Amino acid sequence: DVKVTQSSRYLVKRTGEKVFLECVQDMDHENMFWYRQDPGLGLRLIYFSYDVKMKEKGDIPEGYSVSREKKERFSLILESASTNQTSMYLCASIFGQGYGYTFGSGTRLTVV
Amino acid sequence: AQSVTQLDSHVSVSEGTPVLLRCNYSSSYSPSLFWYVQHPNKGLQLLLKYTSAATLVKGINGFEAEFKKSETSFHLTKPSAHMSDAAEYFCVVSRSGGSYIPTFGRGTSLIVHP
């Protein structure tokens, strides 16, 4: 089975800090995604990537950037963390259409 | 364009009784449809998927869903609820072929009473 690993389950950061959320998948998937999940709002797409060094904005990219230097790793970067970025962050990868997405366990980020 | 509507934000059932979680979708293209489950503080796990094969799809843990094109629905069912089924369930639509960025429903919280 595909495994998607997010490096941290829980993070607490201070306002203004630069925050890196790491995601690694072990099945050579080309497509990777970052979502944030908030109560009542469901999952919202932040960024996605079709290939190494390729990235596309999702629905809510403001305040975030991403990096995909290697196929297996997709990093989400909060350039200057703010309290409204407190959320659950989920990474996902997919082999191709119809295969379904594999999600990581999530990182619950609290910005204080 | 595509969208998905989960008709109930919360569903409450007693253990041993049937489960019905409702999902309607719209898509300009032939859709792929998925149901995911999320237990507290966990990631999302794929329950089942429809990708233009059989309209009745069987998934894990006794769940199944039926694709009804005429009704644009993809409801999730289970004959008998178990306490361990208590979780958040998400219906997802994506386009078959081409770009397949998914659209998530807002989720249905399933509550199972003993």
Provide mean pLDDT across the span A15-40.
Answer: 92
B103 min Cα distance to partner chain A (Å): 9
Residue A8 has pLDDT above 60, yes or no: yes
Confidence of residue A11 (pLDDT cuts 50, 70, 90): very high
- 3-class DSSP state of B51: coil
Paired with B66 in beta bridges are B56, B75
Q: What is the DSSP string of A37-79?
A: EETTTEEEEEEEESSTT--EE-S--TTEEEEEEETTEEEEEES
pLDDT at B99: 57
Under an 8 A CB cutoff, do A48 and B45 touch? no
Report the amino acid identity of residue A11. Answer: L
Whose tokens are 């507290």? That residue is B40
d(CA B112, CA B84): 8
pLDDT of residue A100: 77
- What is the reported pLDDT for A98? 63
pLDDT of residue B75: 98
Q: Which residue has the higher pLDDT, A9 or A1?
A: A9
pLDDT grade for A1, boundaries at 50, 70 and 90: low
Name the average pLDDT for chain A. Answer: 91
Residues of chain B with pLDDT under 50: none
User: What is the tens place of the pLDDT at every residue in A56-110?
Assistant: 999 899 999 999 999 999 999 999 999 999 999 999 998 776 677 889 999 999 9
Q: Using 50, 70 and 90 to split pLDDT, how confident is the model at A53? A: confident
Q: What share of chain A is helix, strand, coil (3-state, %, to 5)?
A: 5, 55, 45
In chain B the first and final C-alpha atoms are separated, in Å, by 41
Locate the chain B residue with the closest alpha carbon to A49.
B101
pLDDT band of A2, cuts 50, 70, 90: low
| Cβ neighbours around B79 below 10 Å, total | 11
| The pLDDT value given to residue B100 | 65
Neighbours of B99 (CB within 10 A): 11
pLDDT given at position B90? 95
How far is the C-alpha of A52 from the C-alpha of B6, rounded, in Å? 34
Name the 3-class secondary structure at A5.
strand
A40 contact residues in B (CB cutoff 8 A): 106
Residue B28 has a pLDDT of 77
Q: How high is the pLDDT of residue A97?
A: 63
Please give the C-alpha separations between residue A51 and each of A4, A28, B34, B101, in angstroms, as whole numbers.
16, 10, 24, 14
Q: Could you say which of B44, B96, B106 has the minimum Cβ distance to residue A103?
A: B44
DSSP secondary structure code for residue B62 in this structure: G
Indicate the DSSP class of residue B79.
S
Q: What's the pLDDT score for residue A14?
A: 97
| Token output for A105 | 């366990």
Interface test with B, best of A4, A94, A103, A107 (most B CBs within 10 A): A103
The Cα of A108 is separated from the nearest Cα of chain B by a number of Å equal to: 8
- Contact with chain B for residue A2, Cβ under 8 A: no
Q: How far apart are CA A21 and CA A100, in angstroms?
A: 23
Which one of B34, B94, B105 has the shortest CB-CB distance to A42? B105
